[in-house]
Structures are given as structure tokens and as C-alpha cells.
With several copies, the nearest count.
Chain A
């Protein structure tokens, strides 16, 4: 699975960037509709849960994100290959 940031919820606090042990996130540079610089999932393939299904591990990002902005989505076939 891969983490996805919902741009309608993210407030650009960058806690995900700080907390991810695998450095999957990077700070954003584009301003969102809500006026924030959303973080970016730059390296989903580095995540502990990359290509994992069923019970996920780590999840520090999802649990820590104060805005419920990160959720898990299945990888595309292409992404799976990374």
C-alpha cells in the first residue's frame, strides 16, 4: 500500500516529513486551495508498507498526521514494480 495525502485536508505542518523513518515525505512548494504548502509523498516505494497488504506496520505518518490527511491506497501495477 502507499500513503496518499488528501490536498483538501493537509495543512502543511510537515509532521509526516519529520516522523517518517524512511523519509518518504518531502516538504511541499505549491500552495493548496486552503492556502497551505502540502507535503508530498515523494518516495512511497521506500515505505515499510510498500507492496504490503493486510495488516500494515509502522503507520507513524497516518497516526501522527493531525489532519487525517493521509490514507492508504493500493499501488498501481507500475508502482508495485518499484
Chain B
């Protein structure tokens, strides 16, 4: 089974880091147990694209995760679409299937689309942790909680790989905070 995930936002939000960490987690640390009872290797590929030369503008990061040898590694239509800016919303919202699950930061995106939508106020949550810089990590935590494509342990390990030591605690909190928001959003959806 393949999972196709797309993270979008504006330059500087760390959207690309989200994808790298997720793919790294799946690729190096995830060993799900298959039907045969054996640990299985997952493979993951991360790709990206951004507006004119990395300045402001939109930013996109695709991750494809598979429990088999990866053949075509690019996301065609995402199963999961995470949106963290209005500009990204306009650019990428069309590219989905009816069953694509969309996760949106409602404070950064004005529109309210229909379909499988989860709202995660990641930026606000990050601010309440003291810095907007970790909004992407909050969102990543929420995404993991909702999607379950990798385990929390793998994700945290991959995240710590990518970040300087002094920021580890902050980011762990952000991840946990995201997980919490994710659970809440799922509950809300469950009820709706």
C-alpha cells in the first residue's frame, strides 16, 4: 500500500522539513510487522518544489511511503493534503480526489472547503508555545495522529535527527501539542 502525502505552505514555514522528517521516519525507523509476522521495511521518497527561488511564495513538499519496493516515487494525487497558507490553498486544493483528506490551519487559510477536512490551529498553538517557528512541528504531530502513517516514536526520532540539541525539548512539546490537536480534530469529526 502506498501513502501519498503533500505538505504545502509559504516559504519559511518549514513545510519542506515536515516532509523530510516524515519520510526519514518511515524510511529509517519504521518497521511495521507484516501479515507474515515479520518486520517489514518501508520505503519513502520525499520531493519538493517551491516558487521563484526560495523567497516567500508557495512551497510544497511531497512524500510517498510504500511498504514495497518503490516504483514511481512521485505523488500524483495526494491521499493527504496539508495546507498552511492561503496561496498554497489556491494553488493545490484542486489536485485531490473526493476521498483525499485535507488538513488546514484555519488561521492562515480563509476558505472553508468541503470534503474530508480537519482544522488544526497549528500556528496559534505554536505561538502559545512561545514561537511561531514550531508551527510546522505542531502540524506534523497532528498529521501523524490523524493519519497514523508512521509511529510517534519513529517520527520523534527522525525529528530529533534533523534539529539542533538545544531545541529538542521545545519541539517535543510541539509534536505532543500537535498530537493533542489531532485527536481533538478527529473526535470533532467523529461527532459531526
Interface residues of A (CB under 8 A from B): 11, 33-35
Contacts and interface: CB of A to CB of B under 8 A. Distances in A.
Contacts of B87: 35
B108 interface: yes
Contacts of A11: 56
A21 B85 CA distance: 35
Pick the most buried of A11, A33, A34, A35: most chain B CB atoms within 10 A of its CB: A35
B127 to A, nearest CB: 11
A11 B85 CA distance: 15
Interface string B33-49: 00000000000000000
A35 B86 CA distance: 9
A33 B85 CA distance: 10
B15 to A, nearest CB: 13
Interface string B51-63: 0000010000000
A33 B86 CA distance: 8
Contacts of A34: 56
Nearest to A34: B56
Nearest to B84: A35
B118 interface: no
B10 interface: yes
9 contacts: A11-B56, A33-B86, A34-B56, A35-B10, A35-B56, A35-B85, A35-B86, A35-B87, A35-B108
